[in-house]
Amino acid sequence: MPTWTGLGANNNWNTVGNWDTAVPTAATTALFTGAGVSGSKNCTITAGAACSLLSCSAYLGTMSLANTLTVVGNLTLNSGMAITGSGGISKTGNGTLISNGVTLDAPLTLNGGGGTAHTLGSNWTINGTISQNLSSQTITGGGFTASLGAGLTVGILSANNVTFLLRGTGTLSATSYVGNTITGSTILISSSAGTITQAGLSLSTCTFTYVTGGYNSTGTLSVGGLGVTFNNISGIVFDSVAFLAAGGQAITLNSNIYISRSLSVGAVIGNINGAFTAYVGGNITPSVGIRGTATIEMSGSGNASISAGSIQNNLTINKSGGATVTFPAGGTITWGETGRTLTYTAGTINPSTSTFAIPNNIPVTINGMSFYNLTVPGGNSSIVTQNVLNNISNNLTLGSNGNILFTGSVGWTCANLICSTIGRTITLGNSSTGASYRTTTSASLTATSASRITMTSDNATTRSLWTLDYGAQQQLIYVNGTRIDSSQGQTIWSFGAALTNTVNWTTGSRPGTIGYTFVN
């Protein structure tokens, strides 16, 4: 194997006289020892150079990288040497990298074909950039840290048990948005020296922790694999967050997360978990679904929208400056999971011609919302708690899958109240709490003699207030009224009903209007 002597006419790597046999190639090892005078002879790489392995055992000189040094396999530095220059090291094959405490000022590029494995055998401090090409490669870290002064740019990188500490300036990114992912590792931002700029970046099955410094998010942060855990990130703002089209995506929040532009999922379900809040300044595109234990809050002063899809998280609309949140025209948003809350706090809601649908058989809380259509299919555990009045400008459709209980300190106002499934019970929270319910345009509740709809109070002694506005149409067929007071509106006519302790209800068909031709 060629051994460095440094005895040539200059200190250039490519000078034959500086090696005991020949200039190393990609097929031979380059050996730098501490033996004799050669142990401290400097080495300069001014043209492209290569070796199979680089071993600097006991070397005390300085290696200056004015051009790129390509190392195929193992790379070992010595604590007594220095390595400088901007030319960089290109690592192209399987092998272990051991720094022995030497700081690399030059860039490190991880090249090689698919399946190439790079192993960190020690901590590394790299003041240049670290980057990786588009082939699928792995880094096995053994718990070591790569401390980076000028950013991290990767392709498809599986980094197992490695911490990437970004402590300077530079870019944190995948070279392409879709399919290029940092996985199985830790990203640690501690950049008191400058600002890290995050471009398009995909993370999978890893931890992202912010400590200090500037963070400028200019591209989409994409989450894939089994998900990403975020720590202490409330001090930064992400541009956009998206879930990749693969199974099991999850964000685990150990602090609040702020997203300035958009939150979206592809053909997957995205999970956002933790006892914290995802603040989204722009649009939400839930597609097949966003779920989890965290709260999603639509915030900020810009207009935004929610596309058709499913959201199971707690959801809050809290827009400042009169900004508007628009629901999808003609689309359906399925919202809710057991114990979830949907709350309007501030801003303008434009429900368009959308439908909000509550899943079957779950208890939820809805406060102060404005809907076009609201569908509550019901079930044995279907409870809707309301503490701020909800308005439905078109249809409130109830009971396709079971009974429904409305409870809380207020009720709802709807244009059209609809229940066309037989054998359902619609229970309204009683008036002793201040709750009242109003229908402005039409009531259509139709059952059969054998299987009737029951509208009732949740209190055995106190009636609930349901007002049907004067002039509203009504069709109540075999609807039993029990402890319902409708005295503030027009009389309720229920054909074939059994009435118990009702006010302003009557049985039979509602009187109609008959027109006659006037003959002079």
- d(Cα 197, Cα 454) in Å, to the nearest integer? 61
CA-based angle 358:363:367, to the nearest 5?
A: 70
- pLDDT, residue 176, reads 45
DSSP string, 186-208: EEEEEEEEEEEEE-SEEEEEEEE
- pLDDT, residue 178, reads 43
Does residue 420 belong to any structural domain of this protein?
A: yes
Question: 333 near 327, Cβ under 8 Å?
Answer: yes
Of the candidates 77, 106, 135, which is a domain's last residue?
A: 106
Q: Which of 439, 388, 375 is nearest to 413 (CA)?
A: 439
Phi, psi for 432 (deg, rounded to 5): -65, -20
- Tens-digit pLDDT profile for residues 116-128: 899 999 999 999 8
Question: 130 near 155, Cβ under 8 Å?
Answer: no
CA-based angle 120:123:125, to the nearest 5?
A: 115
Q: Which of 253, 213, 248, 210 is nearest to 230 (CA)?
A: 253
Q: Quote the domain boundaries for residue 48.
A: 1-106
- d(Cα 434, Cα 448) in Å, to the nearest integer? 32
Q: What residues contact residue 519 under an 8 Å CB cut-off, 6+ apart?
A: none
- pLDDT, residue 192, reads 81
Residues 430-441: what's their mean pLDDT? 92
- Tens-digit pLDDT profile for residues 255-283: 999 999 999 998 788 999 999 999 999 99
Query: What b/e readout covers 486-496, taking b as 16+ CB neighbours within 10 angstroms?
Result: beebeebbbeb
Number of domains in the chain: 2
What 244-250 contacts at long range (C-beta under 8 Å, 24+ apart), as own/partner pairs, is 244/178, 244/181, 244/202, 244/204, 244/268, 249/223, 249/224, 249/225, 250/223, 250/226, 250/292
Q: What residues contact residue 513 under an 8 Å CB cut-off, 6+ apart?
A: none
Does residue 38 belong to any structural domain of this protein?
A: yes
Does residue 497 belong to any structural domain of this protein?
A: yes
Does residue 162 belong to any structural domain of this protein?
A: no
Does residue 271 belong to any structural domain of this protein?
A: no
Question: 152 near 131, Cβ under 8 Å?
Answer: yes
- pLDDT, residue 205, reads 85
- d(Cα 137, Cα 100) in Å, to the nearest integer? 24
- Tens-digit pLDDT profile for residues 86-127: 899 999 999 999 999 999 998 999 888 778 899 999 999 999
Does residue 171 belong to any structural domain of this protein?
A: no
Of the candidates 106, 132, 165, which is a domain's last residue?
A: 106
- pLDDT, residue 448, reads 97
Phi, psi for 431 (deg, rounded to 5): -70, -10
Token pair belonging to 387: 């503490």
Of the candidates 78, 106, 134, which is a domain's last residue?
A: 106
Q: What percent of the chain has pLDDT over 70?
A: 95
Phi, psi for 212 (deg, rounded to 5): -165, 170
Q: What percent of the chain has pLDDT over 90?
A: 77
- pLDDT, residue 128, reads 86
pLDDT at 471 over 80: yes
Q: What residues contact residue 25 under an 8 Å CB cut-off, 6+ apart?
A: 50, 51, 52
pTM summary value? 0.91
More confident residue, 519 or 219: 219
Token pair belonging to 8: 């040539």
Residues 232-236: what's their mean pLDDT? 95
pLDDT at 345 over 90: yes
- pLDDT, residue 129, reads 85
Lowest mean pLDDT segment, chosen from 344-348, 467-471, 507-511: 507-511
Does residue 150 belong to any structural domain of this protein?
A: no
- pLDDT, residue 246, reads 62
* Longest CA pairwise span in the chain (Å): 133
- d(Cα 122, Cα 105) in Å, to the nearest integer? 17
Does residue 505 belong to any structural domain of this protein?
A: yes
Q: Mean pLDDT in the chain?
A: 92
Residues 358-369: what's their mean pLDDT? 97
- Tens-digit pLDDT profile for residues 150-207: 888 877 677 888 899 999 998 888 654 344 567 888 899 998 878 999 988 888 888 9
Phi, psi for 39 (deg, rounded to 5): -65, -20
